[in-house]
């Protein structure tokens, strides 16, 4: 699918508004609800039936209408909602039409409606009738929503305008609504002397509007409905014109362009477009080869199948990264100004309550009873006490070391989908991470996963620096068990500065992910730290794999088991671990690799910088 053109003069809505609606959707319990933005009118009353997961909202409608739409969509997914219509239960009750051939896939409401003649008309009737039922249920369930309902009344379909309907009976569920719709529909089709339902509607619709029921909303809407009625063939083609943009949105990304991976062999090409990779020729020439060979550590590897360690199996080559982009840090702070401010604020909040009692002080606000007692005893014994009998509140001495371990394997070079492309309906994605992407940052060069990860890391480093923690940034990639590269981007001793940030900018992804060895090496570095508390934070984009990491390259079980073992070893050595993944399929293996509370999957890689806000809580150590 070609990317959608930019949305005219109306800019994409601000991130915040979308996030708010997505959170609202989540609160109301709509499973997998995605919210798409479109310039077309909200698709509620004429919207696609095949796409229960897409809610199309126009950016220029009022917020209360947005909220109402979200509430309706949530209710659609409730047990009595529209999408709960179970066709396998419905079929025996005669709700399936003659248009359905044996073997046709029947999945939901759309197929059911399409199986009848004049499917478009039927669909319109159903949407209207069932929509009113859902609204009535909405008013029952959320009393406060009643106030919003008149803002977006159902436009009565033109072909029903002439029908004098009595007050609607209360309809318990979608099946009842479908039954009633079919009754109406058959009445309509059975009317004598009609050439076609469409023309009859045209003649009669403007003349009458039924009392007691809601009248058609706007002339434009009605005209649109008429056009659709005329154009629609009386078959069960699902692609009727009324579906409009929402349908395209729903279907498009399925056959959309996948992100362009850089093949393992194409690492050279990938490195060519980074500003300064650590393997760029000048740097390459200046880096001494010999020390690199000298700084090799052989780590064990856990063989889960055999149930024992392979001793001294993986060679970790530690090497510093040098970069020359001294403007990088400034750029990051500018690109994410608002977020950086927010992170700073949140971390400052932690800082504010990080006070600790200091005892045995020569001066202070309170008497320290224990030391006063000691002093008194000393005086009784004739020695000369120092008079350190006070306690005071002092800013706490930080006792935390954090090691950030970045997966710098080749897959990090994946190009992020363009901001203009339609959002992908990820059926598994929770609404929070499925859509709540921040507004895209306008850049000329295509942004890759690694770019976002680096930005996020730079922001986190800023925050850690502000907290006064000791921290280091390491990267790793590799090519076989004898060449696991451990890239030292920032050492514990170094201050976080433009130079260190340049090293971060220069770290280039390539090769594979031999995670266990890298975790062991990072843990080794952490274990030498003098601090009382240590945290290893792993940031990766996929499962651990390497060409000789287990018997089969495509089977992650060996790498997962080895990494899990390495993490347990670290924890045993008093190092807390946390794993952050940007791989949407990561729940699977992270569940096996990490302890329940110690990992997190970021659905959308662009939400990663924001995810750091939540890390503040993790780093709150006293």
Partner 1 sequence: MSLPWYHPIGDEMDLFEAAWSERLPVLLQGPTGCGKTRFIEHMAARVQPRHHPGPGVALVTVACHDDLTANDLVGRHLLLNEQTVWTDGPLTRAARGGAICYLDELAEARRDTTVVVHSLTDHRRLLPIEKTGELLQAHPDFLLVASTNPGYQAAFKALKPSTRQRFVEITFGYPPPAQEAAIVAHEAGIEPAWAQALAQVGERLRAMQDGGLGDHVSTRALVHAGQLMRRGIPPRRACAVVLAGVFGDEPDAGAAALDVVDLVFP
| Contacts with partner 1, residue ranges (CB under 8 A) | 16-17, 19-21, 23-24, 26-29, 67, 71, 142-147, 342, 345-346, 349, 356-357, 369-370, 372-373, 376-377, 430, 432-433, 533, 535, 576-578, 597-598, 600, 613-614, 617-622
CA distances to 58, 195, 511 from 115, rounded to whole Å, are 31, 22, 53
Minimum CB separation from partner 1 for residue 371, in Å?
11
DSSP letters, 119-183, are: HHHHHHHHHHHHHHHHHHHHHHH-GGGGGTGGGSPPPPPGGGTTS-PPPPPPP-SHHHHHHHHHH
Our CB check for partner 1 shows the closer of 84 and 598 to be: 598
Our CB check for partner 1 shows the closer of 28 and 437 to be: 28
Determine phi and psi for 539, rounding to 5 degrees.
-120, 115
Our CB check for partner 1 shows the closer of 19 and 250 to be: 19
Minimum CB separation from partner 1 for residue 76, in Å?
15
Our CB check for partner 1 shows the closer of 66 and 481 to be: 66
CB atoms within 10 A of CB 238: 16
Q: Are 569 and 527 in contact (CB under 8 A)?
A: no
Minimum CB separation from partner 1 for residue 19, in Å?
5
CB atoms within 10 A of CB 562: 29
Residue with tokens 């989540």: 26
Q: In 3D, which of 538, 612, 574 has the Cα closest to residue 343? A: 612
Minimum CB separation from partner 1 for residue 618, in Å?
5
Two tokens at 331?
């750029």
Two tokens at 596?
């329940």
Residues contacting 175, CB < 8 A, separation 6+: 85, 89, 90, 93, 95
Would you give the distance in Å from CA 412 to the centre of its chain? 17
Q: Max Cα separation, the chain?
A: 122
Minimum CB separation from partner 1 for residue 304, in Å?
23
Q: Are strands 390-395 and 366-367 parallel, antiparallel or unpaired?
A: antiparallel
Q: How far apart are CA 46 and CA 221, in angstroms?
A: 9
Our CB check for partner 1 shows the closer of 182 and 616 to be: 616
Q: In 3D, which of 275, 518, 534, 499 has the Cα closest to residue 406? A: 518
Minimum CB separation from partner 1 for residue 51, in Å?
23
Minimum CB separation from partner 1 for residue 595, in Å?
8
DSSP 3-state of 580: strand
Q: How many residues does the chain have?
A: 622
Q: In 3D, which of 474, 478, 480, 522 has the Cα closest to residue 494? A: 474
Our CB check for partner 1 shows the closer of 294 and 337 to be: 337
Our CB check for partner 1 shows the closer of 16 and 446 to be: 16
Our CB check for partner 1 shows the closer of 350 and 415 to be: 350
Coarse DSSP helix, strand, coil percentages of the chain, rounded to the nearest 5 percent: 45, 15, 40
Our CB check for partner 1 shows the closer of 226 and 346 to be: 346
Four-CA torsion 337, 340, 346, 352, nearest 10 degrees: -100
CA distances to 43, 49, 124 from 52, rounded to whole Å, are 11, 7, 16
H runs (alpha helix) in 252-317? 267-272, 281-286, 289-294
Minimum CB separation from partner 1 for residue 243, in Å?
29
Q: In 3D, which of 409, 449, 382 has the Cα closest to residue 547? A: 409
Minimum CB separation from partner 1 for residue 142, in Å?
4
Our CB check for partner 1 shows the closer of 381 and 617 to be: 617
Q: In 3D, which of 30, 126, 127, 44 has the Cα closest to residue 75? A: 30
Minimum CB separation from partner 1 for residue 339, in Å?
12
Minimum CB separation from partner 1 for residue 599, in Å?
10
Our CB check for partner 1 shows the closer of 75 and 457 to be: 75
Minimum CB separation from partner 1 for residue 64, in Å?
9
Q: Are 578 and 405 in contact (CB under 8 A)?
A: no
Minimum CB separation from partner 1 for residue 376, in Å?
6
Our CB check for partner 1 shows the closer of 119 and 400 to be: 400
Our CB check for partner 1 shows the closer of 111 and 152 to be: 152
């Amino acid at each position: 699918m070609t990317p959608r053109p930019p949305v005219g003069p109306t800019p994409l809505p601000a991130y915040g508004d979308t996030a708010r609606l997505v959170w609202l959707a989540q609160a109301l319990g709509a499973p997998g609800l995605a919210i798409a933005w479109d310039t077309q009118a909200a698709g509620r009353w004429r919207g696609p039936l095949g796409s229960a997961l897409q809610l199309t909202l126009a950016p220029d409608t009022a917020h209360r209408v947005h909220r109402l739409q979200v509430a309706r969509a949530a209710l659609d997914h409730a047990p009595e909602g529209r999408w709960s219509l179970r066709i396998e239960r419905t079929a025996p009750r005669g709700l399936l039409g003659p248009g359905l051939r044996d073997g046709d896939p029947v999945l939901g409401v759309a197929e059911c409606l399409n199986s009848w003649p004049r499917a478009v008309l039927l669909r319109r009737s159903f949407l209207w009738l069932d929509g009113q039922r859902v609204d009535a249920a909405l008013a029952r369930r959320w009393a406060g929503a009643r106030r919003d309902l008149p803002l977006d009344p159902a436009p009565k379909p033109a072909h029903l305008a002439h029908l004098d309907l009595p007050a609607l009976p209360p309809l318990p569920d979608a099946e009842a609504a479908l039954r009633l719709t079919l009754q109406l529909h058959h009445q309509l089709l059975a009317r004598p002397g009609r050439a076609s339902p469409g023309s009859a509607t045209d003649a009669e619709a403007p003349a009458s509007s039924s009392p007691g029921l809601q009248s058609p909303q706007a002339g434009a809407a009605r005209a649109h409905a008429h056009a659709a009625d005329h154009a629609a063939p009386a078959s069960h083609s699902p692609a009727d014109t009324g579906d409009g943009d929402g349908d395209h949105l729903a279907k498009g990304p399925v056959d959309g362009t996948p992100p362009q991976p850089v093949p393992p062999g194409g690492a050279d090409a990938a490195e060519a477009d980074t500003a300064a990779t650590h393997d760029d020729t000048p740097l390459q020439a200046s880096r001494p080869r010999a020390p690199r060979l000298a700084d090799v550590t052989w780590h064990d590897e856990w063989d889960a199948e055999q149930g024992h360690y392979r001793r001294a199996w993986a060679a970790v080559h530690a090497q510093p990264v040098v970069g020359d982009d001294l403007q990088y840090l400034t750029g990051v702070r500018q690109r994410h100004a608002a977020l950086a401010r927010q992170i700073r604020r949140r971390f400052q909040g932690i800082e504010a309550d990080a006070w600790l009692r200091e005892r045995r002080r020569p001066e202070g606000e309170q008497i320290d009873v224990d030391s006063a007692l000691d002093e008194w005893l000393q005086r009784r014994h004739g020695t000369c006490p120092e008079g350190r009998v006070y306690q005071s509140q002092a800013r706490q001495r930080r006792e935390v070391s954090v090691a950030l371990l970045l997966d710098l394997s080749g897959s990090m070079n994946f190009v992020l989908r363009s901001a203009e492309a339609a959002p992908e309906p990820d059926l598994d994605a929770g609404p929070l991470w499925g859509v709540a992407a921040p507004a895209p940052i306008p850049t000329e060069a295509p942004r890759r996963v690694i770019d976002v990860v680096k930005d996020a890391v730079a922001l986190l480093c800023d925050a850690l620096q502000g907290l006064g923690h000791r921290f280091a940034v390491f990267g790793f990639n590799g090519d076989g068990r004898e060449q696991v590269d451990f890239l030292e981007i920032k050492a514990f001793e170094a201050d976080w500065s433009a130079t260190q940030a340049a090293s971060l900018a220069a770290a280039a992804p390539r090769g594979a992910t031999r995670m266990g060895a890298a975790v062991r090496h990072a843990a080794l570095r952490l274990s030498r730290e003098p601090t009382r508390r240590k945290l290893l934070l792993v940031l990766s984009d996929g499962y651990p794999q390497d060409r000789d990491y287990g018997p089969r390259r495509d089977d992650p079980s060996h790498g997962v088991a080895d990494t899990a073992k390495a993490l347990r070893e670290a924890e045993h050595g008093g190092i807390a671990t946390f794993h952050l993944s940007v791989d949407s399929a990561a729940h699977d293996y992270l569940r096996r690799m990490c302890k329940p509370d110690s990992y997190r999957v970021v659905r959308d890689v662009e939400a990663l910088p924001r995810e750091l806000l939540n890390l503040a809580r993790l780093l709150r150590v006293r």
